[in-house]
């Protein structure tokens, strides 16, 4: 049987990932209203990835015969009124999610739950990529955001992002 604290943290992470999806859907909505459809596409796909993450935590608990309790998802509370601010919220949020994953990993390590540690390995790596992506977005916006033509090209580049299912299969 799984340690109570580890189970609770894994269960909470379902909610946190769904909140992430909701937050990125809000970002997508913001950029859509700005007319930046490529940015909107990029965050729409990001939202899909977060829903996938939620389902991986859900399925992991199910596969281990552990109870799942679904809780209310918070309203995205960020005021979105500036492109760069949105991107920086994104980076801050991913750093927060990294701290959550690290925290679950530490709890699993504490009780020698090697199975959960192995499950979380994928997320440890994934968070590294998420932070890199969020940083890259900020760098590109710093370089190109203030020039309309460059912003148009950046938007076109982001329009090309396509969804792919997570490489982790449970």
- Interacting residue ranges for Mg ion, rule: CB under 5 A: 17, 50, 53
Smallest gap from Cβ 35 to Mg ion, in A, equals: 28
Smallest gap from Cβ 13 to Mg ion, in A, equals: 9
**DSSP 3-state of 80:** coil
Closest to Mg ion by CB, 15 vs 64, is 15
For residue 33, give the nearest of 84, 81, 91 by alpha carbon. Answer: 81
Smallest gap from Cβ 49 to Mg ion, in A, equals: 7
Rg of the chain over all Cα atoms, to the nearest angstrom? 17
Closest to Mg ion by CB, 50 vs 154, is 50
Closest to Mg ion by CB, 136 vs 142, is 136
> What is the C-alpha to C-alpha distance for residues 47 and 49, in angstroms, rounded to an integer?
5
If you count DSSP H runs as helices and E runs as strands, how many of each does the chain have, helices first?
5, 0
């Amino acid at each position: 049987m799984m340690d109570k604290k580890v189970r609770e943290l894994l269960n909470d992470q379902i909610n946190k990932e769904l909140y992430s999806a909701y937050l990125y859907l809000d970002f997508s909505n913001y950029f859509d209203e700005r007319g930046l459809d490529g940015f909107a596409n990029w965050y729409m796909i990001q939202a899909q990835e977060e829903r996938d993450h939620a389902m991986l935590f859900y399925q992991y608990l199910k596969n281990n015969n552990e109870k799942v309790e679904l809780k209310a998802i918070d309203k995205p509370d960020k005021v979105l009124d500036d492109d760069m601010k949105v991107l920086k919220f994104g980076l801050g949020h991913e750093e927060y999610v990294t701290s959550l994953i690290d925290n679950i990993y530490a709890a699993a390590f504490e009780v020698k739950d090697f199975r959960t540690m192995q499950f979380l390995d994928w997320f440890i790596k994934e968070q590294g990529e998420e932070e890199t992506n969020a940083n890259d977005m900020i760098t590109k916006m710093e370089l190109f955001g203030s020039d309309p033509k460059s912003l148009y090209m950046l938007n076109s580049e982001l329009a090309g992002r396509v969804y792919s299912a997570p490489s982790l299969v449970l």
